[in-house]
Amino acid sequence: MKPVVWLIHGAIGASLSVLPTAVYAHSPVTGLGTFYGFLLHPVSVPSHALLVIGTALMLGQQGREIARRGLPVFGCGLITALGLSRLAPAQGVAEHVLLVMALVIASLVVLDRRIPSLLALALAAVAGLAIGHDSSPVAGSDTGSLFALAGVTLGALYLTLVIAGLSSGLAKTWQRVGIRIAASWVAAACLLVLSLTIASSSKHVASAPETSSEVIWRC
């Protein structure tokens, strides 16, 4: 059987295994209903939004062919990570990691260099895995879980599709400069949020000592 078919089977299996779960690590937007709350989840969590936008810009900048292949790869990563989080519940990805990933990907876009297609696809897969893992289920009812899962998946995929789709094939110089400017904003936002979180965690460490591993991690 072709690897792509295995991949589809794996993604479907992973998505089904996530059904009997619910509530997610980050709070959804309240007052919108479960589905819409989680649909906006990839936008309402800054580190997720920056990583999704950065990845989508990178896929679009690398050309239509990479974007076509990158989107399902990103989706498979996302759904697989949601499934794996269900099988082996674990703490989500640290915000620093997500921000560093977004920073690296956005910097690649700013440099406007052709990168190997395998690397681009690998970055899309890792981004999908990271976002899926950080949206890991905690507890709740089956139906709530189904709507939450559908919301997160659809929200992240839609945002990636729109940005990657609309930015792919932009060949004029000013259009490519526009993509780089957008990526530089993403990179700048990542740096800003990273500095703020590191600064606030340093203060926190100074005032209340934690376990050595946490202190090392945060430094």
Partner 1 sequence: MTVHWIASLRLLFMSVLVLASTLSRADELRPAYLDMRETKAAEWLVRWKVPAAGDLRLGLYVRLPDSCKTVSEPVSGIEANAYFEHWRISCPDGLKGQTIAIDGLRNSVTDVLVRIEYLGGATQVARLGPGSPAFAVAGVQTRFEVAATYFFLGIDHILTSLDHLLFVFALMLLISDFWKLAKTITAFTLAHSITLAASSLGYISLPQQPVEATIALSIAFLASELVKMQVGQPRLSERFPWIVAFAFGLLHGFGFAGALKDIGLPQTDVSLALLMFNVGVEAGQLIFVGAILIGFMAAGRLYGVPGTPLRKIAGYLIGIASMVWLTTRLGSF
Please check whether residue 39 is in contact with residue 151, taking contact to mean a CB–CB distance below 8 angstroms: yes
Closest CA to 78 of 134, 125, 126, 128: 128
Task: Give the Cα separation of 68 and 120 in Å (integer).
Answer: 12
The bridge status of strand 137-139 relative to strand 23-24 is antiparallel
Binding mask 68-107 for partner 1 (x = CB under 8 A): x--x------------------------------------
Question: For 139, phi and psi rounded to 5 degrees?
Answer: -165, 165
Residue 19 as a binder of partner 1 (CB under 8 A): the answer is: yes
Please check whether residue 157 is in contact with residue 105, taking contact to mean a CB–CB distance below 8 angstroms: no
Smallest distance, partner 1 to C-beta of residue 137, A: 14
Residue 217 as a binder of partner 1 (CB under 8 A): the answer is: no
Give the number of residues in contact with partner 1, rule: CB under 8 A.
Answer: 40
Q: Which is nearer to partner 1, 98 or 125 (CB)?
A: 125
The two tokens of residue 197 are 């979180």
Residue 15 as a binder of partner 1 (CB under 8 A): the answer is: yes
Largest CA distance in the chain: 57
Subset of 127-166 contacting partner 1 (CB under 8 A): 140-144, 146-147, 158, 161-166
Given the rule CB under 8 A, which of 4-12, 77-85, 110-118, 130-138 is the region that contacts partner 1?
4-12
Residues that bind partner 1 in the complex, under the rule CB under 8 A: 1-2, 5, 8-9, 12, 15-16, 19, 27-37, 64, 67-68, 71, 140-144, 146-147, 158, 161-166, 168-169
